[in-house]
Structure 1
Amino acid sequence: MAERRTFVLVDGENIDATLGNSLLGRRPAPEERPRWERVTEFAERTWGQPVTGLFFLNASNGNLPSSFVQALLAMDYRPIPLSGTSDQKVVDVGIQRTLEALLSHEEADVLLASHDADFAEHLGDLLGAGRKLGLIGLREFMSTQLTGLGVPLFDLEDDVNAFIQPLPRVRIIPLAEFDPEKFLR
């Protein structure tokens, strides 16, 4: 029997687009992007088992962002640069195919870093049989189709602590979690 392992599937395009379009109103600067090594470290701490990070990239333009790929490799991620035609959502299809392939890997737990509803059906297919599943993203932008699956949602900022500076988020804070010190800095 194979060792239990957590697979962190990262939809980098979706996370970046959510930060840029929905939160910042512009392309995120490098210091405003998640520290991806913190995501895999969080996954390992949270579920107490080895982690494999798979980072899906759209390489349809024929270019590979070599410095970013090198950074991913240094953080022990496996970059997956995919290409296709202009009408194909290559990252989505790649993640969907990976979720399908994980059905036959009973020892595989999955954390999906995306807000995209396109993965709800495939992630839902993995429910049950003692498998751990979870979502990673910004809570207020997560697809209701994904949250409707009833799997844990780990907030990139609050739970994972993936950012080096606070994001300009306005959201409802449960009184029991309210820390006024966060607003006094």
Structure 2
Amino acid sequence: MADRITYLLVDGENIDATLGNSILGRRPHPDERPRWDRLLTFTQETWGQSAKGLFFLNASSGLPMSFVQALRALGYTPVPLSGTAEEKVVDIAIQRTLEALHARTDDVMLVSHDGDFLETVTPLIDGTRRVGLIAFEEFRNAGFQQLVHQGMEFFDLEHDTRAFNAPLPRLRIIPIAEFDPAQFLQ
């Protein structure tokens, strides 16, 4: 469909927390974070259609203007949200966006590891649209595996999207077709 687009929904907090807590063991430096423009380009090229990037931000304690301006320059629409300390405003907003997409025919690519989205993303896997997940495979919620069997496409945040400037210190299972002994003989 010529006018079909992909909505790229980014749960930046989740990606940052996984990167910092589970992979690096510390807060990531700016140069260690994903190159967000590469995710938008990856989405467009992978599914061969335009993509609209929505980057959800918890702005309850203020709006990080330099980051918001950078996101805009990269082609994203920042979605700054606020709420009480008990509210997971980013999760709530992404869930509402996924629900709103039920009434549309557009495709969706979710960037998160969070199982809180399983209930709202599952109905989108209906055979009429493409639904994808971008995450670190070893840290994605186990519930997404069943969705992959139902037709959700999965893309590794580091290896498939090439969103990082340097290799991350991850231990991942390597498909034999991708094994390169030179990586281990350095």
- TM-score normalised to structure 1 length: 0.95
Letter in 2 for 1:165: A
Letter in 1 for 2:17: A
Instruction: For 1:27 and 1:57, locate their aligned partners in 2 and report how far apart those are by CA, in whole Å.
Output: 17
Task: Tell me what 1:11 maps to.
Answer: 11
Letter in 2 for 1:60: S
Task: Tell me what 1:162 maps to.
Answer: 163
Partner-residue secondary structure (3-state), 1:9 = strand
How much has 1:184 moved relative to structure 2?
Answer: 4.4
How much has 1:20 moved relative to structure 2?
Answer: 0.5
How much has 1:147 moved relative to structure 2?
Answer: 2.4
Identical positions, percent = 60
Which is further off, 50-59 or 129-138? 129-138
2:108 aligned with 1:113: no
How much has 1:2 moved relative to structure 2?
Answer: 7.7
Partner-residue secondary structure (3-state), 2:147 = coil
Instruction: For 1:132 and 1:80, locate their aligned partners in 2 and report how far apart those are by CA, in whole Å.
Output: 23
4+ runs deviating over 4 angstroms:
none
Task: Tell me what 2:37 maps to.
Answer: 37
Instruction: For 1:25 and 1:121, locate their aligned partners in 2 and report how far apart those are by CA, in whole Å.
Output: 30
The counterpart of 1:148, out of the listed 140, 146, 149, is: 146
Number of equivalent positions: 183
Instruction: For 1:70 and 1:5, locate their aligned partners in 2 and report how far apart those are by CA, in whole Å.
Output: 23
5+ residue gaps, structure 1: none
Instruction: For 1:182 and 1:157, locate their aligned partners in 2 and report how far apart those are by CA, in whole Å.
Output: 16
Letter in 2 for 1:156: L
How much has 1:171 moved relative to structure 2?
Answer: 1.5
Partner-residue secondary structure (3-state), 2:86 = coil
How much has 1:148 moved relative to structure 2?
Answer: 1.6
Q: Please give the residue correspondences for 1:1-185 in structure 2 after superposition, counting only pairs within 5 Å.
A: 3-61=3-61, 63-106=62-105, 108-150=106-148, 151-184=152-185
- For the aligned residue pairs, the C-alpha RMSD in angstroms reads 1.3
How much has 1:173 moved relative to structure 2?
Answer: 1.1
5+ residue gaps, structure 2: none
Instruction: For 1:87 and 1:125, locate their aligned partners in 2 and report how far apart those are by CA, in whole Å.
Output: 27
Contact 1:119 1:146 in 2 (8 A): no
Letter in 2 for 1:36: W
